[in-house]
Amino acid sequence: NFDTDCYVCVLQSHIMAAKAVASTLKTSLGPNGLDKMMVDSDGEVTVTNDGATILSMMDVDHQIAKLMVELSKSQDDEIGDGTTGVVVLAGALLEQAEQLLDRGIHPIRISDGYDQAARIAIEQLDKIAETFPCDPNNTEPLIQTAMTTLGSKVINRCHRQMAEIAVNAILTVADMERKDVDFELIKMEGKVGGKLEDTQLIKGVIVDKEFSHPQMPKVLKDVKIAILTCPFEPPKPKTKHKLDVTSVEDYKALQKYEKEKFEEMIQQVKSNGANLAICQWGFDDEANHLLLQNELPAVRWVGGPEIELIAIATGGRIVPRFCELTPEKLGTAGLVKEISFGTTKDHMLVIQECKNTRAVTIFIRGGNKMIIEEAKRALHDALCVIRNLVRDNRVVYGGGASEIACALAVNQAADKCPSLEQYAMRSFADALEVIPMALAENSGLNPIQTMTEVRARQVRENNPFLGIDCLHNNTNDMKQQHVIETLIGKKQQILLATQVVKMILKIDDIRSQGQSED
């Protein structure tokens, strides 16, 4: 037996910190999960039930709690969805480990048992997984998967529309041969005003800018775009210099030189065939007026990421000097137009019918900034899930069905295990069942009774698709309800949670830098 009291006390304080984080997120799990209102130090309010967002905004001091924050972040980076579930599972595993520690089982034996149980759970997931048709001509199954992801978000009011937008965006940019999706080609832009239903997918690029002069044309067709990162201004000597203007003639000569330089730059752009200049830097009123006179529409102060996306979409090259501009470096677009919104003076630039048709923008509307930001987070999760299906088109069914099936498999294996690890394996199975219980609790059901009934039915009917009926549709079959989760995401959840728990169980002390031994 293991009875090093000091080690156990330290571990228990670590487990308490991790459990506190997990219990905060438990109420946000599932389609009926509650939202959290996060207020930052500036008083800025964020309303969300995205696990990674909640934890990243929480001010946690304990080092173990910070590990839980990192856990949700790694799930978000790798999979995009399931950030709440992975933290709840890790919290449940640590809670079960605490009971095993009280019984005198060494943390290393618990870790080994958890490791074995995780392997069995992953094997069970492979057995119950189904291959999913990932066919661009039949998008319905993909839309159902995206709807499962969006079901637990604030924007489930226009559930199907958002799912269709996410699927169409991914299929537009997906490379089906390589089975990969370049997220750089998908941009999300939001504008306050309108309603969520006005959200749309635009094949092209939207830039939150307008033409530099109000008298420039608002619609351009068959556009050749010069993408410039050099400013419309006379070149300055690179050395430290001082210019004395001592007379009116000198000033007029300087003014004339500047005007000639501006005109020379504009002619360089026009002579290469460009009929729109997009500039990363600004230009003054004189240059703006000359651009209008020479009938060269221009957009100024376009940011770095936006200018890169425009270059990718239009097939143009970013030009750092006017002398390097050639006709081959110009981007092409069928239509560039400036659009305005409602009664406000808000304007945006839409670049459509681009050379590279794979660049898309999801344009989100909403009543306020909070809704738009949450819609962006929800759509990001949906995009990640569809991307994962393009990579690996195997799925398992949600609603806690796969967790219950894994728990049953782990319990069966524990019965055959002759060593001490069988206790840890049973605890692992109990921890897996915390997820369906939390789903039942958040849906207003009796968690223990519902969980017991579903588990018994899974064993009796040998049906691993039975889960918690969160939406009260009078069927526990998640396949019928189209509650679908990607296999790759569910595997990652179990593996990441197990790894973090094993790491926490091996920590026996926390030392700060410069802290003395006593």
104 and 185 share a domain?
no
Does some domain include residue 512? Answer: no
Tokens (6 digits) for 135? 């066919």
**322: which DSSP letter?**
G
Catalytic residue positions? 50, 83-84, 381
- Residues 368, 188: contact at Cβ < 8 Å? no
DSSP 188: E
Question: Residue 183 maps to which CATH number?
Answer: 3.30.260.10
Same domain, 317 and 246: yes
Based on the fold, state whether residues 252 and 342 are members of the same structural domain.
Answer: yes
Q: What is the mean pLDDT of residues 133-137?
A: 75
- The tens digit of pLDDT for each residue in 172-220 reads 888 888 888 888 888 898 888 888 888 999 888 898 888 988 899 999 9
How far is it, in rounded angstroms, from Cα 46 to Cα 483? 28
Same-domain pairing of 76 and 171? no
Number of domains in the chain: 3
Q: Does residue 212 sit in the same domain as residue 346?
A: yes
- The CATH number linked to 277 is 3.50.7.10
Residues 333 and 379 reside in one and the same domain: no
**Rounded-to-integer distance, Cα 248 and Cα 398, Å:** 79
Residue 516 counted as domain residue:
no
* CA atoms of 147 and 166, how far apart (whole Å): 10
Same domain, 192 and 210: no
Rg (CA), the chain: 29
Question: Does any domain span residue 517?
Answer: no
72 and 93 inside one domain: yes
Range of the domain at 155: 135-203+357-392
Q: In terms of domains, do 449 and 472 share one?
A: yes
> Is pLDDT larger for residue 441 or for residue 287?
441
The answer to which of 343-352, 365-374, 412-421 has the lowest mean pLDDT is 343-352
Nearest alpha carbon to residue 18 among 66, 51, 50: 66
- Asked whether residue 216 is domain-assigned, the answer is yes
| Among candidate residues 407, 397, 410, 403, the one with its CA nearest the CA of residue 438 | 403
Pairwise pLDDT comparison (9 vs 393), residue with the higher score: 393
User: For residue 517, what pLDDT is reported?
Assistant: 54
> Tokens standing for 155?
């924007």
Asked, for residue 322, whether it belongs to a domain, the answer is yes
Average pLDDT over residues 350-356: 83
Among positive and negative, which fits the CA dihedral 288, 289, 291, 296? Answer: positive
338 and 438, same structural domain?
no
CATH number for the domain harbouring residue 13 = 1.10.560.10
Instruction: Report residue 487 as tokens.
Output: 């296999």
Task: Sort strands 219-228 and 276-279 into parallel, antiparallel or unpaired.
Answer: parallel
Instruction: Please check whether residues 288 and 215 belong to one and the same domain.
Output: yes
Return the structure tokens found at 117. 């149980």
pLDDT tens-place string over residues 216-264: 999 999 999 999 998 877 776 666 667 778 888 888 888 888 888 888 8
- Whether residue 511 lies inside any domain: the answer is no
What is the pTM (predicted TM-score) of this model?
0.83
pLDDT tens, residue by residue, 464-513: 999 998 888 888 888 888 888 889 999 999 999 999 999 988 887 777 67
DSSP class of residue 302 equals: -
User: Where among 333, 366, 392 does a domain terminate?
Assistant: 392
pLDDT at 6: 63
Mean pLDDT to the nearest integer, 290-317: 88
**Has residue 62 been placed in a domain?**
yes
In a domain, 275, yes or no: yes
141 shares a domain with 128 = no
